[in-house]
Structure 1
Amino acid sequence: MADKHIDDISGVETTGHEWDGIRELNNPLPRWWLWTFYATIVWAIGYVIVYPAIPMLKDATRGVINYSSRAELTKEVASAKAAQGALAQKIAASSMDQILADPQLTQFATAAGAAAFKVNCVPCHGSGAAGGAGYPNLNDNDWLWGGSAEAIHQTIAHGIRSSDDPETRLSEMPAFAEILKPDQIRQVAAYVISLTDKPHNPALVEPGKQVFADNCASCHGENAQGNREFGAPNLADAIWLRVHGEDEIAKQVQAPKHGVMPAWQARLGETTVKELAVYVHSLGGGE
């Protein structure tokens, strides 16, 4: 057509687009690009015919091979569950010592226990099992009832002061405000803090040691290193569950706080409890 512009230098017709005096040449697309483009169209048509592709109101086109990624995933999940079921059955039928003696069972139980821990235990013990105020750190070596795999299993299964389990672990520290005089409570608090830190008044340590021997040693031991049979904590290692400092120790002696851990066996089942015990035991503080 007469109105078409031809570039003077290249002799190629322009598209009519112009910007700041620059005109766009109407060069044809490369043949290789065109054939690639045509091939993708053919491939797309073939894909729609062979595979599920076009969404409908309630379903989609099935395709000639009737492939379903959901069916494939369901099959893979069922296969994985079957493999896990065999290991879970072995864990259910094995003692804690037998599980720990079998590397395959230990690995499986640790992984399963970690998953169960995140769902059931993190709210109290934290995502890293480091505990918090009033909740024990499960990574250290301070165990109220013992850190062996079997002891941990017993604690998880039946809980601590759990009202709905007759086999729960029980320990009650009496309120010494009804037993000791205020000055005796200050003395014993000074003695206890002196085992790991400096007391406010060093003169109270010696009489406090006698108060401790008369009232506390039966549970916490003569050297205040605790007694796992009673769930009595070690007071000589600077690891404190509920209190920090001399004043807080005095308050605990006066009116002790008693925590409660649920009994998990009835809720989770024996297999999951064993898996949790193996995981907790593996954190580093287990014996």
Structure 2
Amino acid sequence: MADKHKHVDEVSGVETTGHEWDGIRELNNPMPRWWVYTFYATIIWAIGYAIAYPSWPMLTEATKGVLGYSSRAEVTAELSDAKAAQASNAERIASSPIEDIMADPELKQFAISAGASAFKVNCAPCHGSGAAGGKGFPNLNDNDWLWGGNPQEIYQTIAHGIRYDGDEETRVSEMPVFADMLTPDEMRATAAYVLSLTAMPSNPALVEPGKQLFADNCASCHGADAKGSREVGAPNLADAIWLKGEGEQAITDQIRSPKHGVMPGWVNRVGDPVVKDLAIFVHSLGGGE
């Protein structure tokens, strides 16, 4: 409630505002001078800021301010400075073979950083943001390579792709459809042998006949030891790393009707320097040779 008559606090001698809550009265103390001066200073500062910098919106644009400052212009200038700082390294990468880039620690680190950015934009949709891949898309963090894992081999794969019709230099490998050559029982036996190289098949009795079937039909590409051949892009079947699916049934299905993935060639899309950056970045992930 509010008192109709002025009231002075007996203890402090200060007049109250007339407001009272549960017997407690509010003193009518003035604000400290330093606080008032600070408040006035902020008003002056705000007026000066509004005059000096863009601030007040109008119909088509904001006031420009007497200093002519623009945050967009500042960002543009910073980007230009960054590009200028990178220009030297970018030019060196464009004109240098991969071997020379790898031999220069500073240039190599620049390529890795640039490749990481390019990877997120161009490669992550298939291989994942962490390059761990997925079913049908290779994991680029391990040391299992269909076509070789040194920087030049990785460059070739990225530049020209795999089974990519738009590039005559693309990598090409075709696994035949064995449903036309083997019976269902023979395909199951072959799958049992392949699985036995890394795990226990459901019917161990099929391993020996499957081994002979593998030697007759598969060893020409995958090798007698089933460790594959990078010359033809035949995967290593003895390392428990599976691209098209894991398990006995998945192996049988791949023998019966092989799945062939396609990777586009990137050199005509992003340019040779970016492909070099990507190759060196992928090589740096930990699985390079």
Scaled by the length of structure 1, the TM-score of the pair is: 0.95
Alignment of 1:175-190 (within 5 A): 175-190=177-192
Q: 2:47 aligns with which of 29, 45, 48?
A: 45
The match for 1:246 is 248
Per-residue CA deviation, residues 56-106 of structure 1 (Å, 9 max, x unaligned), is 222222333222222222111111112222221211111111111112211
Alignment of 1:215-254 (within 5 A): 215-254=217-256
Once the two structures are TM-superposed, the CA of residue 264 in structure 1 deviates from its matched residue by: 1.0
The match for 1:31 is 33
Alignment of 1:99-178 (within 5 A): 99-178=101-180
Letter of the structure 2 residue corresponding to residue 177 of structure 1: A
Once the two structures are TM-superposed, the CA of residue 118 in structure 1 deviates from its matched residue by: 0.9
Once the two structures are TM-superposed, the CA of residue 54 in structure 1 deviates from its matched residue by: 2.2
The match for 1:9 is 11
Once the two structures are TM-superposed, the CA of residue 133 in structure 1 deviates from its matched residue by: 0.8
Q: Percent identity?
A: 69
Letter of the structure 2 residue corresponding to residue 231 of structure 1: G
| DSSP 3-state at the match of 2:276 | helix
Which 4+ runs in 1 deviate beyond 4 A? none
Letter of the structure 2 residue corresponding to residue 4 of structure 1: K
The match for 1:276 is 278
Q: Are positions 1:67 and 2:85 aligned together?
A: no
Report the Cα distance in structure 2 between the residues aligned to 1:52 and 1:199, rounded to whole angstroms. Answer: 74
Per-residue CA deviation, residues 171-220 of structure 1 (Å, 9 max, x unaligned), is 00000110112222122111111111112222221121111111111100
Letter of the structure 2 residue corresponding to residue 114 of structure 1: A
Is the deviation greater in 74-83 or in 274-283? 74-83
Once the two structures are TM-superposed, the CA of residue 271 in structure 1 deviates from its matched residue by: 1.2
The match for 2:97 is 95
The match for 1:196 is 198
Letter of the structure 2 residue corresponding to residue 16 of structure 1: G
Report the Cα distance in structure 2 between the residues aligned to 1:63 and 1:201, rounded to whole angstroms. Answer: 83
Letter of the structure 1 residue corresponding to residue 283 of structure 2: H
Letter of the structure 2 residue corresponding to residue 3 of structure 1: H
Give ranges in structure 1 of 5+ residues lacking alignment: none
Letter of the structure 1 residue corresponding to residue 80 of structure 2: A
Report the Cα distance in structure 1 between the residues aligned to 2:84 and 2:50, rounded to whole angstroms. Answer: 34
| DSSP 3-state at the match of 2:18 | strand
Once the two structures are TM-superposed, the CA of residue 11 in structure 1 deviates from its matched residue by: 1.9
Give ranges in structure 2 of 5+ residues lacking alignment: none
Once the two structures are TM-superposed, the CA of residue 13 in structure 1 deviates from its matched residue by: 1.1
Per-residue CA deviation, residues 109-160 of structure 1 (Å, 9 max, x unaligned), is 1111111111111111111111101110000010000000011111011110
Is the deviation greater in 99-108 or in 151-160? 99-108
Is the deviation greater in 182-191 or in 164-173? 182-191
**Aligned residue pairs: how many?**
286
Report the Cα distance in structure 1 between the residues aligned to 2:206 and 2:225, rounded to whole angstroms. Answer: 17
Report the Cα distance in structure 1 between the residues aligned to 2:76 and 2:59, rounded to whole angstroms. Answer: 23
Is the deviation greater in 40-49 or in 86-95? 40-49
Letter of the structure 2 residue corresponding to residue 81 of structure 1: K
Is the deviation greater in 87-96 or in 216-225? 87-96
Scaled by the length of structure 2, the TM-score of the pair is: 0.95
Letter of the structure 1 residue corresponding to residue 90 of structure 2: A
Report the Cα distance in structure 2 between the residues aligned to 1:142 and 1:50, rounded to whole angstroms. Answer: 61
Report the Cα distance in structure 2 between the residues aligned to 1:41 and 1:195, rounded to whole angstroms. Answer: 80
